[in-house]
Structure 1
Amino acid sequence: MGIGVDIIEIKKISIAIERSGQSLINRILTANEIETIGELSKSHERIAGFWAAKEAAVKAIGTGFRLGILFHDIEIHHDNYGAPFYIFKGRLLKLLNEKNISKTSISISHCSKYAIAMAIFD
């Protein structure tokens, strides 16, 4: 079992997006995530939430973004009730299978200043 938590200032994401523009967004978000966020208001808050969720995931598994794990290996989706869930790809999916991790849970929250996410892997 692993638990990961990450918190980020939304202002830091906003500044990074102003500097790097779409290239930063394309590096951390998948095409599906970009489409989802594009449909929602408060996009910088949501991007920060997705960032925190991905950081929490790699903390829960214990690797960080090493061993060839990329931001695009983690995709955030939402069920019909709005609850977030992960879809894993690439090296991270292989690592989860090697560690027999089959159940993951995530919670994402944000306010005007911060986004936070918690991931539990079992």
Structure 2
Amino acid sequence: MILGTGTDLCDIRRIEKTLERFPGRFENRVFTTIEQDKSDKRKNRAASYAKRFAAKEACAKALGTGLSMGTAWKEMGVKNLPSGKPTLNLTGKAAQRLQAMTPEGFRAQIDLTITDDFPYAQAFVVISACPQSWPNPQE
């Protein structure tokens, strides 16, 4: 069953200007070290950061909290599974919210898709509740 959905569209040029204007500060405030390592290795660094920024915004919407209700940027980290598929790792209040919205006897599954086509980056998040007995594709 679907518990929440969220989508976000981000202007890559805006992220690029922010990266140039506040070198290091923006990355350290918003992104996990895993996200920074991944994005800093990319040829189009700003597009990589923009996709991850959009994913965080989409995740906050899917959680139903937004960013003004206590969920912090770094509590939602984009990571890639061994297959390369992107997903979100939640910690802190974001993880607490996910646990609170997941019915007893179920486990939460977060599906994420991210893409970019200059000048935009887009993310879509679906949070589902799956029976505990179903295989977990994220393991």
TM-score bracket for the superposition, by shorter chain length: over 0.9
2:121 corresponds, among 103, 115, 120, to 115
Higher relative contact order (CA 8 A, sep 6+): 1
- 2:56 pairs with 54, 66, 71, which one? 54
Aligned equivalent of 2:132? none
2:82 equivalent to 1:80: yes
Higher helix residue share: 1
- What is the match of residue 90 of structure 1? 92
Matched, 1:19 2:25: no
Structure number with larger C-alpha Rg: 2
The normalised TM-score by structure 2 is: 0.83
- CA drift of 1:81 comes to 3.0
Counterpart residue type for residue 109 of structure 2: K
Unaligned stretches of 5+ residues in structure 2: 129-139
> Deviation at 1:99?
1.0
Q: Residue 39 of structure 1: which of 14, 28, 41 is its match?
A: 41
Q: Name stretches of at least 5 consecutive residues in structure 1 with no aligned partner.
A: none
Once residues 35 and 16 of structure 1 are traced to their aligned partners in structure 2, the CA distance between those partners, rounded to angstroms, is 18
- Give me the whole-angstrom Cα distance separating, in 2, the residues matched to 1:3 and 1:53: 11
Count of paired positions = 122
Q: Work out the percentage of aligned pairs sharing the same amino acid.
A: 25
Matched position secondary structure for 2:95: helix
Equivalent residue for 1:103? 109
Runs of 4+ aligned structure 1 residues displaced above 6 Å come to: none
Q: Which has the higher strand share?
A: 2
Deviation digits for residues 3-32 of structure 1 (CA, Å, limit 9, x no counterpart): 100001100111111211210111111111
